[in-house]
Amino acid sequence: MGSTIDWSAIGEVFGVGFVAAVGIVVVYTLGLRLLGVGQPQDPRGEATTSDQEAPRSGRTPPAAIAGAGLCFAVVAAAVLFGIWLTVPQFH
């Protein structure tokens, strides 16, 4: 009953999972940042409540909206791919 554990395989799975998770978070954050283009800046750098917020200083450029949409589509595709890999009935 001498079973061995393949530690390198466990490390590889951990590494790929960690890089994928961080990558998805970074792409999602980039999408949120692109949606924030054209938002008003708080001059003092302090948090504001909804009644203190100024109206938008400008419009979000169409390229920023398209980039944000692309980022969110990549995140959605990654999540759906992960679900597909996890659920055996899908393949």
pLDDT in tens, 62-85: 999 999 999 999 999 999 999 999
- Model-level pTM greater than 0.85? no
Q: What secondary structure does DSSP assign to 58-69, as a single string?
A: SPPPHHHHHHHH
CA distance 5 to 23: 28
pLDDT of residue 60: 83
In what helix (H) or strand (E) does residue 9 lie, and over which residues does it extend?
A: helix 7-35
**Which residue from 80, 69, 76 is spatially nearest to 32, judged by alpha carbons?**
69
pLDDT in tens, 15-54: 999 999 999 999 999 999 998 887 666 666 665 566 655 5
Query: What is the dihedral angle through the alpha carbons of 63, 60, 71, 83, rounded to the nearest 10 degrees?
Result: -140
